[in-house]
Structure 1
Amino acid sequence: MAEAKKVNDPSRFTGVERTAIFLMVLGENSAAEILRHMGPKEVQKIGTAMASLERISRNDISYVLQEFLNLIHDQTSFGIGADDYVRRVLRQALGEDKAEGLIDRILLGRNSKGLEALKWLDPRAIAEMIRNEHPQIVAIVLSHLDPDQSAETLSYLPDRVQSDLILRIATLDGVQPAALQELDEVLERQLSGKNTAKSSMVGGIKMAANIMNLMDSSKEAIVMEGISQVDEGIATRIQELMFVFASLIDVDDRGLQTLMREISTDTLVVALKGAEEDLKDKVFRNMSKRAAEALRDDLDSKGPVRLSDVEAAQKEILAVARRLAESGEIVLGGKGGETML
C-alpha cells in the first residue's frame, strides 16, 4: 500500500484542512463571521476538520498563510478580477462541487434564502413541510438541498411518489424567477424569514443520480423500476451517472489505497461479502501481501452476513469515497466516465 504523506509535510493537508487552519489563525470572531456566510455542509465539514487537526506546527501555519498570500499576490485592486479570485479560493478551499453552490449564490445572485434555510433543518421536518405540496414544487425543493439531505428527505415521503419525484428532478432544467420567488416567499413565511431570491438553475440528470446514490438500497431498486416504466431513457442516463460500490473498480490504484486507509477492516470485510471477485482482487492487489492474506482469512472466516448489513457497509465506504473526491484526494470514475463528485 502506498505510504501516506509525511507528518512534517505541510502539503499533506486537504483543502478543507487548510481552510480550517487559516480560520483558526484568524481568531474566533473573524472565523465566526466567515462561517456565518457558509452553508451547513461547509460549516460541518470545516468544523470537523478543526476538531480533528493535531500536531499543527509553526511551519504548517506558515505554509497555509503563504499559500493564501501566493493566491492573492497577482490580484489587481478590489473589484477587478474579483469573480475569478472568488471562484479559485472557494474551489480550492471546499472542492469543486461544494464551491459551485456558493459561487452561484455569491456571484450569480442565486441566494434563495427560503430554500437555503431548509438546509439547516432535519430531513424529517423538511418532508413534513413539503409532503402536501405539488410534486413539481417538492422536486424543486429537493433539487436545492444537498444530495444526502435530499435522499433522506425523500425516504420520509410516501413510496408511491418517490419515483415520480426523481423523474421530475432529472427533467428539471430550471425555474422561472417569478415562480422561484413565489416559492421562496412561501417558505420564508413558514420559516419566519425574509426573501431576496431572484433565480436559480436546479435539477438535472446528475442531481437525480446523486440523490439516488445516497438513497437506501432497498428503495433504490424500486424507485429506478418506477422511473423505467415512465421513461426508460432517463432511467438509463441516471444509472450511467450513478456511482455505486461496484464502480470502485474504476478508481485508480493510488485512489483506492487512499480510500482504504480511511476505512476500518471490519467495514471493508462486510462490504466485500457482497462484492464481485474482480473488485475483491483489486482490493487485495492494493494491499501489502500480509494485509491481503489477513483480509482473505477474515472474509473466509466471516459467517453469513445480512444483505442490509452489507449494503450499509458499502454505503459507508461510498460516503467516504465521495468525501475524499470532494476534497480532491481521489478521483471517482463511474459508468459515465471519469468525473469529480
Structure 2
Amino acid sequence: MSETTIDLTGSQKAAAFMLAVGENYGQAIWEALSDDEIKELSQHMSNLGSVNAEDVENIFVEFASKVSTVGSLNGSYESTERLLRKMLPADRVGTIMDEIRGPAGRTMWDKLGNVNEVVLASYLKNEYPQTVAVVLQKIKAEHAARVLSVLPEDFSMEVIMRMLRMEAVQKDILDKVEQTLRIEFMNNLARTSRRDSHETIAEIFNFLDRSSEARFLSALEDRNRDSAEKIRALMFTFEDLANLDPQGVQTLLRNVDKDKLALGMKGASDTLRDLFFSNMSERAAKILREDMEAMGPVRLRDVDEAQMEMVSKAKDLAESGEILLSDNKGEDELVY
C-alpha cells in the first residue's frame, strides 16, 4: 500500500471510494445514509483533491473488494454536487452543498454581495468602466446602488452609461471577469480588509433583546473577559441615544413612529426620558406622557423591539448624515 493511502483518514478513504464507485453502484449506499452522514461524507469528497490510481486501487483492496484500478479521480465541490444530484432530490442537494460551502455564497457574485461597499468600490474604481458595469449588473441592485454611490461621480456616470448601452454579456467575458475578481480581489480580501470579529459580534448583539444580550455577555466574560469588554465597548445601545445633541434628538423624533416612541420610552432611563422630553414642545411632551401612562404594563419584549427600532432608525439617519452618533465610550465619536 502506498504512503499516500496510509496518510488518508477513514473518512477520506470513504470519500474516495464513493467517488470511484460513482452513480450506479453508489446509489444504494447513499440512500442508506442519514442527512448528517451525507453532509460529512460530501464535505470530505469536496475537499479531497487529487487521488492517484494506485491509491484508489489500494482503497478498494482495503474495502475487501476485488476491483482493479479505476483510474485517477479528483474530488471537488462541482464533482460532488454533480454526483449527488443524480441520486438525491435537488432541494436536499442544495441544502447539503450550501452548508459545505458556508455562508460566503455559492457563486462569486454571492460572495461579492457580502463585501462592504466601500471595500468593493475601492477595488472597482481602478478597473475599466465596462468591467464595473458587468459586476454591478450581476450583484443585487441594493448592493450595486451602495457601491455606485461610493465611486467617484464622474466614474459612476461612465459606468451607468456603459450599463445603459450594454447588451447580453458573452459567457467568456463573464468568466474572465469572474476569474479576475477571484484571483486579484477575493483571494486578497481577507488580508487587506478583514473586519475585526469583535465588531461583527457587537453588531449582532445590538439586535439581541435585553435578557439575551446580558446572558451572552455574562457567559463570554467567564470565558474571555477581554473580548467581552471589547464587544461591550463597540456596541451602540438604546441608552447611548442620550449622547445625541439637541438637533439630533429632534431629527430622530421626527422620524420615529409615535407608538414606538412611547413604547420605547416606557423602558428608558430617567436621563434619556428627560433628554427627549426637553427637546419636544410642551404639548407634544404632555401627549407622550399621557400615551405612556395609558399603555399600562407592557411586555419587556415589546419594549426591546421598539427600542431596537429606534436605534436602527438613528443609525439610518447617521448614515445619511442627518445626525451624528457617539457611544461616549471613548474620545472618538463613532459615526455609523
- TM-score, normalised by the number of residues in structure 2: 0.46
Whose RCO is larger (CA < 8 A, sep 6+)? 1
Give the TM-score, by structure 1 length.
0.45
Highest Rg: 1 or 2?
2
